[in-house]
């Protein structure tokens, strides 16, 4: 009898524990694991989880982020499946694809901004050029010979270099990848020559001497690579950033959005997290859902008309 009572009490305790356990929130990253975005999101998710809100990260790469965006747009609007929205998925892909399976302005509700970083171009160190000016001269003398990688066709780290090429009067052969990590591996193996990316995933290879930063698309140099000039220093008026947000399926109640917004912003404001993020090349940025909503609309209105002027070849999703 005592044994039976013990078993019942244990079963009740387990049941109560299960009932009180918080549900797990899933951050869906539209790129392969190991890239700059994935590294930062996992860093953030780990700290949010430590602070008491269980979070896991799921990677769904492909179609310039459309696969992950569509997956979250159609997920249950309970605040437990959240999309890591970027320039491409929340704006640029509307120009680059004939038809998207989701509407970036209607199928999501904003949660919070989480960070941004300027774009850079990195190159192998065995190439016959080591500066932007030298690369431009080489490209003009050898049209189409430079193979340029990117994490995807609709991603800012492809579009910003493309606009630079138009400005400089050169043309490279674009090779898109499903994320930053496979693109950098291709660069290191010699399959491509240069790669549009951020400092996050490329920094270890730059520090080891395997890669060099040809230019930074910002108004100031990056502290991680102080010897790398900005595009403006090299004579090109190019400034472009990748930004990262959390958005939930349309119809998600306000309460889970506010809970997640508060938990994430508390981490983003911590000095230790800011230092860790900046060491990885990311500038943390938080804010309210309303601020993020305005920001996404502004970026959409900024980039979409500009991209249409480039007359890019569209893809069919």
Number of domains the chain is built from: 2
Please state the three-class secondary structure of 273-307 as a single string: HHHHHHHCCCEECCCCHHHHHHHHHHHHHHHHHHH
Q: What is the pTM of this model?
A: 0.76
- Of 133, 87, 114, 103, which Cα lies nearest the Cα of 233? 133
Per-residue pLDDT tens digits for 219-247: 889 988 999 999 999 999 998 988 999 99
Q: Considering the chain, what percentage of its residues have pLDDT values greater than 70?
A: 92
Q: Please check whether residue 4 lies inside any domain of the structure.
A: no
Please state the separation of Cα 135 from the chain's center in Å.
26
The boundaries of the domain holding residue 194 are: 120-216
The CATH number for 52's domain is 3.40.190.150
Q: Are 61 and 26 in contact (CB under 8 A)?
A: no
Mean pLDDT of 307-314: 75
Q: Are 304 and 100 in contact (CB under 8 A)?
A: no
Mean pLDDT of 276-283: 87
Q: What is the pLDDT of residue 1?
A: 45
Q: 66 and 154: one domain?
A: no
Rounded CA-CA distance 88/157 in Å is 10
Q: Which residue has the higher pLDDT, 242 or 50?
A: 50
Q: Which residue has the higher pLDDT, 314 or 7?
A: 314
The mean-pLDDT minimum among 14-18, 99-103, 225-229 falls in 14-18
- The mean of the pLDDT values for the chain is 90
Q: Please check whether residue 111 lies inside any domain of the structure.
A: yes
Rounded CA-CA distance 190/132 in Å is 19
């Amino acid at each position: 009898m005592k044994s039976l009572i013990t078993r019942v009490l244990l079963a009740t305790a387990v049941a109560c524990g299960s009932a009180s356990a918080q549900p797990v929130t899933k951050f869906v990253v539209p790129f392969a694991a190991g890239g700059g975005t994935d590294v930062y999101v996992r860093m953030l998710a780990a700290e949010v989880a430590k602070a008491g809100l269980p979070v896991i990260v799921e990677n769904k790469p492909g179609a310039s982020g459309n696969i992950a965006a569509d997956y979250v747009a159609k997920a249950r609007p309970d605040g437990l499946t959240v999309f890591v929205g970027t320039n491409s998925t929340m704006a640029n892909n509307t120009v680059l694809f004939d038809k998207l399976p989701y509407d970036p302005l209607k199928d999501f509700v904003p949660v919070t901004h989480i960070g941004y970083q300027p774009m850079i171009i990195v190159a192998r160190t065995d190439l016959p050029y080591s500066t932007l000016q030298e690369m431009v001269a080489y490209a003009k003398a050898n049209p189409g010979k430079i193979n340029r990688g990117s994490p995807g066709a609709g991603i800012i780290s492809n579009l910003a270099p493309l606009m630079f090429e138009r400005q400089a009067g050169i043309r490279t052969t674009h090779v898109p990848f499903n994320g930053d990590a496979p693109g950098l591996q291709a660069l290191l193996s010699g399959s491509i020559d240069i790669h549009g990316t951020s400092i996050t995933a490329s920094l270890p290879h730059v520090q080891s001497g395997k890669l060099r930063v040809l230019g930074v698309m910002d108004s100031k140099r990056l502290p991680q690579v102080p010897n790398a000039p900005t595009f403006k220093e090299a004579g090109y008026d190019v400034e472009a950033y990748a930004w990262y947000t959390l958005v939930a399926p349309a119809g998600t109640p306000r309460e889970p959005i506010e809970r997640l917004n508060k938990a994430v912003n508390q981490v983003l404001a911590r000095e230790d997290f800011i230092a860790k993020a900046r060491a990885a090349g990311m500038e943390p940025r938080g804010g309210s859902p309303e601020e993020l909503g305005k920001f996404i609309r502004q970026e959409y209105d900024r980039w979409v008309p500009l991209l249409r002027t480039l007359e890019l070849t569209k893809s069919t999703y």
